[in-house]
Amino acid sequence: MREATATFRQGEVVGLAGLEGSGQGVFLRIAAGLQRPTSGRLSFFGEDCTNWHHDIFRRRGVAFVLEGRLEEGLIAGLTLTEHFALAACAPRFRVPWHQARQVAEQKVQQFRIRGSAQTCADALSGGNQQRLLLSLIPSDASVLLLE
C-alpha cells in the first residue's frame, strides 16, 4: 500500500471504493490496530497511535466488523450467549454468564436474529450471522469500521 493520509470527523460516514485487493482491507486493518503500517504514522483523535495494540484501539472505541463472518468475525461452535460473554469479558477476563444470556436474548429480538441465545453462530444463515456481528458492536463505539 502506498502512503495514505485520511482525516475523519465525528459523525462522518466514509466509504472506500476499489477493486478487491487494492488496499481497502489493509487500510481498515491498520485503522483498527490489527496491522501496523510499514512506514508513516497513525493518529487517533490527535494522539499518535502507530504502535498501539489492537486492544487499546478497542478500549478507545474503535469497532471493526470483518468481512469474513465465520472466518474472522464469529467463532463456529459457540452460541450467541457465548459470543456476548466473550464480548463483555474482553477487557476484564471475567465471564458474566447470566448477563450475557440476557443480552443475547435482548439482541436476538432487537436485531431480529432468527435463532435463540443457545443457537450456535455457524447454524445461522449468512444474513443472521451478519446481524449477530452488528449486534456485537459496542453502543459507545466512537469509530466504526465495516469491511
Instruction: Say what the pTM is.
Output: 0.81
Please, which pLDDT band fits residue 91 given cuts at 50, 70 and 90? low
The alpha carbon dihedral of 24, 9, 63, 125 has a sign of: negative
Cα 90 from Cα 76, distance rounded (Å): 18
Counting beta carbons within 10 angstroms of the beta carbon of residue 41, is it exposed (0 to 12), middle (13 to 18) or buried (19 or more)? exposed
Please, which pLDDT band fits residue 121 given cuts at 50, 70 and 90? very high
Q: Has residue 100 got a pLDDT over 60? A: yes
pLDDT digits (tens, 9 = 90+) for 15-41: 787 788 888 888 889 888 999 888 888
Phi, psi of 55 (to 5 degrees): -60, -35
Residue whose C-alpha cell is 449468512: 126
- In one-letter notation, the amino acid at residue 143 is V
